[in-house]
Amino acid sequence: MRIFQPCTSHRERKGAEMKRKQSQHKVNARMSPNRSSKKRFVGPRSLAEFLAMPARRQDIWDAVGQVTTEVRSGATLAQASRKFHIDPRTALRLGRPALRKLRNGRWVARKSDRLLRVLPMPTPKGLIDIGVPDSRQATLVGNYWNAVDLHRGTGDSSALRPFQEKYITDADGKRVPFMTDTDELDRLASAGQLSFESLYARVA
């Protein structure tokens, strides 16, 4: 609501009006979606930053990591984006550090990247999420889950042996050991804390 002072001169009113318009113009520029939308969504660098994002953006960021992994396996950017239900332009903008463009115009994934992935890991207290700082360690976590799945499906725990007394260093520098105690893994599974369908939807 505009409030007029009864004794204000025309010049003063005009000056005040111009200042108001200039101020509003600055606000509109800051709020413009064309200028701010890209800046507002910055890739997280830690688990805390990831958890601070709205759930929708967490889903988008998870998809970005999955898309880059899929492209690294040979899929096109369009194919991978379609598979994980994300706009290719969004995947490219957010995952750009992990991608490079060939002379023929096709986007491919670099051999490795430092995009944060948030992945599940079992602990004696249950399943937790950890921030994995790069694609190489994300692949290691994926291989670990393949070993866990093999044990759960067939009883063969041999694939878990390379992970004994090994750990992942998360984005905060904390060591998270791989759980290889089959009795503990079976206990967690029996308690419904290991749902492989949901786990594999996130492990990239």
pLDDT in tens, the chain (204 residues): 333 333 334 444 445 555 555 555 443 444 444 444 445 788 999 999 999 999 999 999 999 999 999 999 999 999 999 999 999 999 999 999 999 999 999 999 999 999 999 999 999 999 999 999 999 999 999 999 999 999 999 999 999 999 999 999 999 999 999 999 999 999 999 988 876 554 555 554
- Of 6, 157, 135, which Cα lies nearest the Cα of 71? 135
Report helix angle 33-40 to 10-31, nearest 10. 40
Do 123 and 191 sit in the same domain of this protein?
yes
In a domain, residue 144? The reply is yes
Output the CA–CA distances (angstroms, integers) from residue 65 to 120, 123, 153, in the order listed: 14, 24, 27
Query: What's the pLDDT at 40?
Result: 72
Do 130 and 190 sit in the same domain of this protein?
yes
In a domain, residue 155? The reply is yes
Hey, is 83 helix, strand or coil?
A: helix
Q: How far apart are CA 202 and CA 88, in angstroms?
A: 19
Q: Which residues contact 108 (CB under 8 A, 6 or more apart)?
A: 71, 72, 99, 100, 101, 102
Do 153 and 105 sit in the same domain of this protein?
no
Last residue of one domain, picked from the residues 109, 127, 143: 109
In a domain, residue 98? The reply is yes
Query: What's the pLDDT at 4?
Result: 31
Output the CA–CA distances (angstroms, integers) from residue 60 to 20, 93, 199, 204, in the order listed: 38, 12, 17, 14
The count of domains in the chain is 2
For tokens 């079976």, name the residue: 186
Could you tell me what percentage of the chain is helix, strand and coil, using 3-state DSSP and rounding each to the nearest 5? Answer: 55, 15, 30
Query: What's the pLDDT at 196?
Result: 55
* Per-residue tokens: 102: 């060939």
Residue 152 belongs to domain spanning: 117-200
Taking CB atoms within 8 Å and a gap of at least 24, the contacts of 88-95 are: 90/60, 90/64, 91/63, 91/64, 91/67, 93/38, 94/41, 94/43, 94/60, 94/61, 94/64, 95/64, 95/65, 95/67, 95/68
Do 169 and 121 sit in the same domain of this protein?
yes
Do 90 and 132 sit in the same domain of this protein?
no
